[in-house]
């Protein structure tokens, strides 16, 4: 029997890899699928695993408060290496651009184990934005044997870097698999989410997320000051599930905590967040995953970054890069609030990232390859 080990550590990775794990387990007669989580996220990761009923075989518990990238990287490589020594898999599957992705790929390389990279080929072409994600995924691409690219643009990026086109498969993005699965679950269950009861859904609801390391400091202050202005000057409701990172929370709670029509929430589980996304008018975010998800629900995006590796949403007109300047965020947000034609144009876009069958393609390819 062949063996695949799927390694991930953060909430976004879990959302995108749980459907792959579920598909791989359908081939249990010929493939043993082992799940290893590093715990780069803790509470956020555990909620997603419960939602998809995925039980890890290993949890490395790497999460420490305010740990440095150097500390996280070194401990991650060492602990993942120990797991690989024990399991001796035929393939290591990683996803995206996190420190876990990079360190798992590196550990596998040191052990001469093949790596399959889900969501390969995304590029901003700026090594400090997103930081450290751009370097994480570039190094992972150098190591990986198989590259599962969401779009044709991603495949072209990889080929420009000298990667053999025969080792690249365009699959779509697995986040759409999870999104459509969750949409059905929400419609079926019709839950009353107690965490969302204080929100005034009669108003235009702006959903906000933010966690990018390169935005820590003054950039987060600018974003928060823009949100405060928007809330005070417009009849809207802003809902902000706040990331657990203390570098995010100190500015968000310090600036926004006393504004009545800004609801600061603890991180939501995946089902609650997707429900909230469906109820939003538009979204302000620096999240890559949300850039992929929002077009399915026809929700315009204001991206608080200067570059994005999800360039498809920009080209199609579903999103705008607004950066972190206060006045630019305010200007673009108020245009969406008051200009109905402008808003409608941004809504009227089909999702370029997949049809909900990406995980099936990945699992089938790996089975045939093995």
CB atoms inside a 10 Å sphere around CB 320: 18
Distance CA 80, CA 77 (A): 5
- Which regions of 236-304 does DSSP assign to beta strands (E)? 236-241, 262-265, 282-285, 301-303
Active-site residue identified among 13, 23, 87, 119: 119
Nearby residues of 105 by Cβ (< 8 Å), 6 or more positions away? 92, 94, 115, 117, 139, 140, 143, 144
To the query of whether residue 213 is one of the catalytic residues in this protein, the response is: yes
Active-site residue identified among 13, 23, 133, 293: 133
To the query of whether residue 188 is one of the catalytic residues in this protein, the response is: no
Q: Are 170 and 365 in contact (CB under 8 A)?
A: no
Distance CA 217, CA 226 (A): 15
Active-site residue identified among 243, 251, 310, 361: 243
Position of tokens 């751009």? 134
To the query of whether residue 133 is one of the catalytic residues in this protein, the response is: yes
Short-list 126, 151, 155, CA closest to 305: 126
- CA of residue 159 relative to chain centroid, distance: 24
H helices, E strands: number in the chain:
15, 13
Active-site residue identified among 90, 213, 249, 369: 213
Q: Are 148 and 171 in contact (CB under 8 A)?
A: yes
Active-site residue identified among 97, 286, 293, 309: 97
Distance CA 305, CA 351 (A): 21
Burial of 185 (0-12, 13-18, 19+ CB in 10 A): middle
Q: Are 40 and 99 in contact (CB under 8 A)?
A: yes
Q: Are 308 and 324 in contact (CB under 8 A)?
A: no
Distance CA 214, CA 247 (A): 11
Q: Are 215 and 245 in contact (CB under 8 A)?
A: no
Burial of 15 (0-12, 13-18, 19+ CB in 10 A): buried
To the query of whether residue 232 is one of the catalytic residues in this protein, the response is: no
Active-site residue identified among 41, 117, 211, 212: 211
Distance CA 359, CA 352 (A): 16
To the query of whether residue 334 is one of the catalytic residues in this protein, the response is: no
What are the catalytic residues?
A: 97, 119, 133, 211, 213, 243
């Amino acid at each position: 029997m062949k063996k695949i080990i799927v390694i991930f550590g953060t909430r976004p990775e879990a959302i995108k890899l749980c459907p792959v794990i579920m598909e791989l387990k359908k081939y249990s007669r010929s493939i043993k699928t082992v799940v290893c989580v590093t715990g780069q996220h803790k509470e956020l990761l555990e909620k997603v695993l419960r939602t998809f009923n995925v039980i890890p075989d290993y949890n490395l518990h790497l999460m420490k408060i305010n740990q440095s990238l150097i500390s996280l990287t070194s401990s991650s490589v060492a602990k993942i290496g120990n797991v690989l020594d024990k399991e001796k898999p035929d393939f290591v599957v990683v996803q995206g651009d996190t420190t876990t992705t990079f360190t798992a790929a590196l550990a596998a390389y040191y052990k001469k184990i093949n790596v399959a990279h889900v969501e390969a080929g995304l590029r901003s072409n700026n090594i400090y934005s997103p930081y450290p994600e751009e370097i994480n995924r570039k190094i992972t691409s150098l190591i990986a044997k198989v590259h599962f690219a969401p779009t044709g643009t991603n495949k072209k990026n990889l080929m420009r870097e000298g990667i053999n086109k025969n080792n690249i498969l365009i699959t779509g993005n697995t986040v759409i698999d999870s999104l459509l699965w969750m949409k059905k679950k929400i419609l079926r269950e019709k839950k009353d989410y107690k965490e969302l009861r204080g929100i005034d859904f009669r108003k235009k609801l702006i959903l906000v997320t933010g966690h990018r390391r390169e935005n820590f400091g003054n950039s987060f202050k600018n974003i928060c000051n823009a949100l405060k202005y928007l809330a005070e000057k417009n009849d809207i409701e802003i809902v902000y599930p706040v990331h657990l990172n203390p570098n995010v929370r100190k500015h968000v709670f310090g600036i926004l905590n006393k504004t009545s029509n800004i609801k600061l929430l603890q991180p939501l589980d995946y089902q609650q967040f997707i429900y909230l996304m469906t109820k939003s008018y538009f979204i302000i975010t620096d999240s890559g995953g949300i850039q992929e998800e929002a077009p399915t629900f026809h929700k315009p995006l204001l991206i608080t970054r200067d570059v994005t590796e999800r360039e498809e949403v920009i080209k199609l007109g579903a999103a705008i890069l607004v950066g972190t300047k206060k006045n630019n965020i305010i200007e673009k947000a108020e245009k969406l609030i008051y200009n109905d034609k402008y808003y409608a144009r941004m809504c009227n876009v089909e999702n370029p990232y997949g049809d909900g069958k990406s995980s099936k393609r990945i699992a089938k390819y790996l089975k045939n390859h093995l």
